[in-house]
Structures are given as structure tokens and as C-alpha cells.
Amino acid sequence: MDITPTGALGARVKGLAIGPLDEAVTTRLRLALAEHGVLAFRDPSADDAAFTAFMDSFGPAVFTDGETPVAGHPTLNVVSNVGRTTPPRSVFHIDTSYVSTPPAYTALRAVQLPEEGGETVFSDQFEAYDRLGDDTRRRLRHALVTHEASGMAIPDGEERRARHPLFLRHAHVDRTSLYLSTPARCTEVSGLDAEHARAEIEALYEHSIAPPYALRHRWVQGDVVIWDNRRTLHRADHSGVVGDRVLHRAMSIDAAA
């Protein structure tokens, strides 16, 4: 297995088929995800069963209530623009951060790709934290942010809000990320009133998605891309898409954290 960085954020993995992984390989990939944020594989033979087994190697599956499951694979969901008259809306975010144990890893498998466009864009939250001013780090070093579900129907009894550190120390490397999602899903900051919390979140979010932190993945048939939600934000770029875009998504908790 060869892991080659593609820039400050992201790496390409060669020599590994998508499917169940032994513990030694999983451990190496966990560390690579912590170091590079995003790993891209190319395996045209991979199907949903292999994709599910691959993600199960990292830890228990997470499924977001309200998403469309893949037929026969209940832990996968469909990400698609098929049948839409307007492009889906996508902003930089963390997946399912409104639960107490959010998925550490998200992966997408290319099923059908458009003729043009449809890239996935990532923002490096280690770098975002590193570029904060010392005063901001001191002032907010113990801050907790309330993440809340928005724009989706959560069944009664299911989690819809959770508190997480604003500055998150990673479980596998000695680095800290700026851990927050879109401002619509970050509703409170400990120690701040509502007005100041809103201003702080919006300013930090704009800082976190500034262009120096970005990686753009251009999809090719056979691609499987996995990322670490603890150190990246992501969004789909739906501008300029020509044709149908269908991806299958899986999410996993980090069993080694």
C-alpha cells in the first residue's frame, strides 16, 4: 500500500482494494487520515458490499435519520441530484455533529458521475486552528459549542443537539482542530451570550473556510474518498454540474478513539 500526499491536505492511496481491512491496515489508514485529512482510492471493482465492509473496519456505522438508504445496504445512503429542478444546497459542514458521538469518518463512493462539475471541496481545520491569533486561542480555549440539527426531521427520542469542544485535540496525532460546523447548526458557545456567540461563530466559520485551507476533489469513476470529520469541513460544489450525480455515503465512529 502506497500513500502519496497530493498537497497540504489530502493523499492518494494505491495498492489497496476496497473491502474488509485487517487491523494493521486500518491502524495505518487511521493515522494517514489524521495526518492528511482526506484519502482517495480508485477501485472500479468496488461495490456497495465491499464499501460497507471497508467502512465497518473503522468502527460502528452511523446513519443519519431522514436520508434515503441504499437498497439492500441500510447503513449507506444515497447522495444524488437526480430528478431535481434546482441544484442541492451545500455549505461547508461536519457530518452529523449534533450527536454526542459523531461519526469520525465519512466516505463517498462514485456510482454515477456528471459530464461536468460536481467536485467535493474540503477545508483543513488543523491549519485553521494554527492560524488563529494567540488571543483568540486563550479566550476560547475551554469553549464548548452546541451543535444542533437543522433542516431535517429527527424522530422523537433521537439526539438532535450535543456540545463539543471548539478546539478539538485529535485522538491519533498531537494536533488541534477548529471544530465547528455551519453557523446554522452551531447555536451556543459556553460563556457567551446569544449575540456574542453568534458573532464569534460566524467569524470563526469564515476563517475556517478561507481559500488557503481548501482541497478540491474531482471525481473519476471508481473513486472512493474517505475523510476525517475531526479535522476537515466539506461541501459539494453543485455549480456548473451537467448531468446526473449519484454517490453512496457511509459514516463510521472511530473504534480506536
Domains and CATH numbers, the chain: 2-124+214-252 (3.60.130.10), 127-208 (no CATH)
Angle ∠(10,180,192) on CA atoms, nearest 5 = 155
Residues in the chain: 257
How far apart, in whole angstroms, are the C-alpha atoms of residue 50 and residue 115? 26
State the pLDDT at residue 214: 84
The model's pTM is: 0.96
Instruction: Pick the closest to residue 221 from 246, 191, 190, 253 (CA basis).
Output: 246
Phi, psi of 105 (to 5 degrees): -125, 140
State the pLDDT at residue 124: 97
How far apart, in whole angstroms, are the C-alpha atoms of residue 178 and residue 191? 18
How far apart, in whole angstroms, are the C-alpha atoms of residue 204 and residue 201? 5
Q: Which residues pair with 188 in a beta bridge?
A: 146
State the pLDDT at residue 158: 86
Exposure letters 70-97 (e unless 16+ CB within 10 A, then b)? beeeebbbebbbeeeeebeebebbbbbb
Question: What confidence tens digit (pLDDT) does each residue in 46-57 have?
Answer: 999 999 999 999
Residues of the chain below pLDDT 70? none
How far apart, in whole angstroms, are the C-alpha atoms of residue 213 and residue 195? 28
The strand order across the sheet containing 186-189 reads 161-165, 144-148, 186-189
Question: What confidence tens digit (pLDDT) does each residue in 128-158 have?
Answer: 999 999 999 999 999 999 999 987 778 888 8
